[in-house]
Structure 1
Amino acid sequence: MTSAYESDPIFQTNPLQVLNIVTRIQNREIALPDFQRDFVWDSARTAELLGSIMSRYPVGTLLFWEQGDGQPFASRSFDGAPNTSNNQPSVLVLDGQQRLTSLYQALTGSGDERYFIKVDEFVDVHSQSVREVPDVDFEKAIFSMPAVAKNGRRSQQLTPSHLPISEVHKFDDWLDDYADATGDDPQVPLTARQAKSLYREMRDKYISPLKTYGLPVLTLPSSTSMDAVCTIFETLNRTGKPLGPFELLTARFFPQGVNLRDLWDEAESNHRALKEFRIDPYNVLQAICLRVRGTAQRSDVLKRLTGDDIKHHWKSVTAGFAGVIDMIQSDCGVTSQKWLPYGMLLTPMAAVWDKQKNLKPLEKSQAIRRLQQFFWSSIFTTNYDQGANSQMGADYSRLASWITTGEGDAPEAIDELHINAATLRTATVRRKALYSGLICLLVKNKAADFHTGQSMTSTRAHEAESHHIFPKAFLTKRQEPESAELMLNRSIIDGETNRIISSNAPSVYVEKMKSAYGDQRLHDVLASHAIASQTSSGLLRDDYSRFLDERLEIVIQLIEEATGKQIQREAAR
């Protein structure tokens, strides 16, 4: 029986010498996947890396991915390396691009900077000894200069003691000349023979690592799945620019004549809403996969989607996202991406958007209404809080036929609206979908400005914020047991109005509103915010619990109107 410790390793691990890696990069045996970001390190970080290697300090592990014969993956050379595109690399670098590019450019004299070592910083000629690592000022000992200096002049004068790092392999030849010059210098208490001995000791301690330092390398086998590679990238790049399925598929489809980056740039140019709502281009690929494969799972997007699928569906799906965004902005009160309850909810809707385009006018309006009903029902069922990829697949399979005819199985959220009054009564602003859904309902209900009584324009609604109706400071002073952060205590109120409200009791600031524009307009303004306005209402009596109960009933009515479903009201508290 084979124990877990004797089984085949998931990956190979072994050190590779710097010089070996540089040579393989030069020959394009080691390359970058096309989805890798550009080289961004500055000269200071490169000099710091060189100092760490010369000190024999750890500089982190590299992650390589072996490439098989039939790997349909676009790759590119390192910055500064020959672009011999006919050579297929044997490995791609998944993690370590910045470090390897820095080392390659420094050791080959390529790139925008040239790096030098001040060899005298590593020795003490008076004691004829090589300095220990803590005694070397590496910030001074390693420096760089632009490869092409302005007006042909260098900002720093080079001397014989400045060894180009790109010529460390010629160190012994350099030393012969430098030792002879040192021996003839009366200011240096060394003979040529003593200088050679001292600097050879310095070479073995500090120069040799630039060629022989073993960089630890983990190598994934060529059989590693795209899904696994994607997961690794997301893990490695949590604190940086994310590299996910879209970047992987960009590289995969490039050899098939499909440039996803160009397609996305064009889509954002044609549909401004994609950028305004921060649509992830990967969601477009998911929508296409829903159409052609009936699934939005990442493994299926990575494995089953083809270049032909992209060519056939890209334009109509991106137009679908734009169409859905226009609909929810115009008819559902979603003024900006900030108030979009679920970004993932747009994906199945965009995938089916084409279904209503060729319908007759009356049928088309009914299809749009069904899409809106699905939008609201999904929000208040909170179906997309978890398992969004699976939910998209389940919803798409029913949406595609249901929105055009209203027959057959409706999406789950339509048939089973599980939300009840108790959930709405106790929901805080941390329930993002419910909270955002409420704000959108109020915008759809044409919530008017508290201060002026004027209807909010789309621009003003976009700029307005959510603020407390019963001020938090007022409730704290009253020691109100119920949380001030209940979503029912929020409405869309501009900053100026919120400052006027301040910590005043509702009865105080409502009286100011009444004086400003009268009883009838006051009633209309409060009604537009789903707030009861009769004289005995909780708002006018500064009764927070009563206010919440009254507003709950009005909000429920708005939800029922939007979803077409009745909400259970028992035991709201």
Structure 2
Amino acid sequence: MTSAYESDPIFQTNPLQVLNIVTRIQSQEIALPDFQRDFVWDSTRTAELLGSIMSRYPVGTLLFWEQGEGQAFASRSFDGAPSSPNKLPSVLVLDGQQRLTSLYQALTGSGDERYFIKVDEFVDIPSRSVREVPDVDFEKAIFSMPTAAKTSRRSRPLQPSHLPIAEVHQFDDWLDDYADTIENDPQLPLTAKEAKSLYREMRDKYISPLKTYGLPVLTLPSSTSMDAVCTIFETLNRTGKPLGPFELLTARFFPQGVNLRDLWDEAEANHRALKEFRIDPYNILQAICLRVRGSAQRADVLKKLSGEDIKAHWQIATAGFAGVIDMIQSDCGVTSHKWLPYGMLLTPMAAVWDKQKELKPLERPQALRRLQQFFWASTFTTNYDQGANSQMGADYSRLSKWIAAGEGEAPEAIGELHINATTLRTATVRRKALYSGLICLLAKNKAADFHTGQSMTTTRAREAESHHIFPKAYLAKQQGAESPELMLNRSLIDGETNRIISNHAPSLYIEKMKAAYGEQRLADVLASHAIACEQGGGLLENDYTTFLDERLEIVIQLIEEATGKLIQRDISPR
């Protein structure tokens, strides 16, 4: 351990191995100060972090604060880690919570997602060699599955070559089984002995860093004043605009007579929807790169786009985004940016938007319906949760032919809708795409206002929030009740109505609604929210589990209508 300043040791630096930190989080020796925000990273960012560590790339410095004896600073455990009120940590994490929570959950198998490695992506079997880092497609090599989907059929069925990251410490045992699988596969020219030699080399290059990678840590001594700690924390978390690809290309294209900043200002002035839906100007460049290079990968946008490409396609791409946004607002219930399932999903749609504009007037409606089907299928297949840049390229190559005349292969999400009832039944509001997709379906279904029974206008739908149908406070009193944060327990409800619902049992506020505007209108209002209202049903009987099962079936029917695909209704035991 060395001091940052030998004459005045303000803080100390010391690299700590990943496995050491995970073990200390597990034992609650390392914890979080209570003022830290919640864990918010999605599976894509976690996978990117894992890829960087496997590549031995820098992932940033951590900031710890030692806790002295008797120091009673409020703390809490990491998400997914054990929690004992009487256990006092010796170290608090001031900066690095998102990274450490991601690593802890991935390496211990806790949290909402389970992470896997496709080991074959790291080797070249014909040459019997391990690939170098630039040759590995980490978007394909690392993937995740929701915890609740472990026993159900998914779009990524597990294969013998898929190594759970939570089991990397058992790699050699796993390899014994996989080497036998390889030897018995006539298409793979490897014996078990050769396979073990090759994959052990891969282990040393890519798997070992998941345990031995040294994370740089700056540690403040326990004597650091509270005022200093607060100042440091606020400084570290102050938002700043990073230098991104758009800024880099603005500088590169300026000598070619292309001023990207002026073009973007003009686009926002001409298309108000770009600002309303917070379109990143980099997405415009990705759409252009799709059109001229068939790729949305960052490297291709940075290296292959030219000033002439921008001149030829900028107006088409920006108009494409505006047109797609108008369509999903009017026909798909996406009333505002906050309910957009995937921002990246708009990019391939915008890149092909001009294809339907070129059609004869009577042919355009069918093309628009295909685009809407693609939007819904991609949303509920959750194809854009991971590897979005690769997904955009794959979708664009098929969309450009398919939407115009139904020619060629349909996009992957259209071909097979990989989602089942179990996933929908167990999804919480943290599954953003599924949750937003449900809310958009309800807006599309013209969900009526709970309180007044009036049809929800576009303006009212934009202002309405998502609130609990079975109040959270009410469920807290019900022993053994399922989580109140399941997405099936949410709907578009305005703030005034939510205050009326308060913590009351559903049967009580439903009676008030019936008295206000009659039984038939009540049934119509609830139906517009995909809620059953029969006597003996879950809502009227305050039976949360029955309510969820009933609503699941209605929601499935709405998804099937929107996507044109059937959903598996096999439900795993809860």
Q: TM-score, normalised by structure 2?
A: 0.58
CA distance in 2 between counterparts of 1:237 and 1:530 reads: 41
2:442 maps to 442
Letter in 2 for 1:271: H
Report 1:167-206 matches (<5 A).
none
1:558 maps to 558
Say which SS state the counterpart of residue 264 (structure 1) adopts: helix
Report 1:86-105 matches (<5 A).
none
Change (3 A) 1:487 1:296: same
Say which SS state the counterpart of residue 525 (structure 1) adopts: helix
Per-residue CA deviation, residues 182-212 of structure 1 (Å, 9 max, x unaligned), is xxxxxxxxxxxxxxxxxxxxxxxxxxxxxxx
Letter in 1 for 2:267: A
Say which SS state the counterpart of residue 344 (structure 1) adopts: coil
Say which SS state the counterpart of residue 524 (structure 1) adopts: helix
Deviation of the 1:237 alpha carbon: 11
Contact 2:324 2:350 in 1 (8 A): yes
Per-residue CA deviation, residues 298-335 of structure 1 (Å, 9 max, x unaligned), is 00000000000000000010000000000000000001
Say which SS state the counterpart of residue 466 (structure 1) adopts: strand
Deviation of the 1:480 alpha carbon: 3.8
1:473 maps to 473
Change (3 A) 1:448 1:237: closer
CA distance in 1 between counterparts of 2:243 and 2:276 reads: 21
Per-residue CA deviation, residues 186-245 of structure 1 (Å, 9 max, x unaligned), is xxxxxxxxxxxxxxxxxxxxxxxxxxxxxxxxxxxxxxx9xxxxxxxxxx9995112100
CA distance in 2 between counterparts of 1:281 and 1:238 reads: 23
Matched, 1:340 2:340: yes
2:118 maps to none
Identity, in percent, stands at 83
Deviation of the 1:535 alpha carbon: 1.1
Contact 2:481 2:544 in 1 (8 A): no
2:39 maps to none
2:317 maps to 317
Output the aligned Cα RMSD: 2.0
Per-residue CA deviation, residues 413-444 of structure 1 (Å, 9 max, x unaligned), is 00121100000000000000000000000000
Letter in 2 for 1:264: W
1:499 maps to 499
Contact 1:450 1:525 in 2 (8 A): yes
1:331 maps to 331
Say which SS state the counterpart of residue 454 (structure 1) adopts: coil
Contact 1:237 1:243 in 2 (8 A): no
Letter in 2 for 1:294: G
Contact 2:321 2:346 in 1 (8 A): yes
2:428 maps to 428
Deviation of the 1:481 alpha carbon: 2.7
CA distance in 2 between counterparts of 1:361 and 1:512 reads: 49
2:308 maps to 308
1:109 maps to none
CA distance in 2 between counterparts of 1:429 and 1:405 reads: 37
Letter in 2 for 1:531: I
Per-residue CA deviation, residues 47-77 of structure 1 (Å, 9 max, x unaligned), is xxxxxxxx9x99xxxxxxxxxxxxxxxxxxx
Say which SS state the counterpart of residue 433 (structure 1) adopts: helix
1:52 maps to none
Per-residue CA deviation, residues 51-109 of structure 1 (Å, 9 max, x unaligned), is xxxx9x99xxxxxxxxxxxxxxxxxxxxxxxxxxxxxxxxxxxxxxxxxxxxxxxxxxx
| Structure 2 unaligned spans of 5+ | 1-7, 12-133, 135-235
Which stretches of structure 1, 4 residues or longer, exceed 2 Å deviation after superposition? 236-239
CA distance in 2 between counterparts of 1:319 and 1:411 reads: 23
2:378 maps to 378
Deviation of the 1:448 alpha carbon: 0.3
Matched, 1:365 2:340: no
Change (3 A) 1:317 1:237: farther
Say which SS state the counterpart of residue 553 (structure 1) adopts: helix
CA distance in 1 between counterparts of 2:508 and 2:338 reads: 31
Deviation of the 1:349 alpha carbon: 0.2
Change (3 A) 1:444 1:410: same
1:408 maps to 408
Letter in 2 for 1:564: G
| Structure 1 unaligned spans of 5+ | 1-54, 59-224, 226-235
Deviation of the 1:362 alpha carbon: 2.6
Letter in 1 for 2:504: N
Say which SS state the counterpart of residue 518 (structure 2) adopts: helix
- The structure number with the bigger radius of gyration is 1
Matched, 1:389 2:389: yes
Letter in 1 for 2:486: L
Change (3 A) 1:358 1:441: same
1:542 maps to 542
1:274 maps to 274
2:255 maps to 255
Per-residue CA deviation, residues 436-489 of structure 1 (Å, 9 max, x unaligned), is 000000000000000000001111110110000000111111124311100000
2:129 maps to none
CA distance in 1 between counterparts of 2:361 and 2:510 reads: 45
CA distance in 1 between counterparts of 2:337 and 2:531 reads: 26
Report 1:511-522 matches (<5 A).
511-522=511-522
Say which SS state the counterpart of residue 492 (structure 1) adopts: strand
Report 1:49-68 matches (<5 A).
none
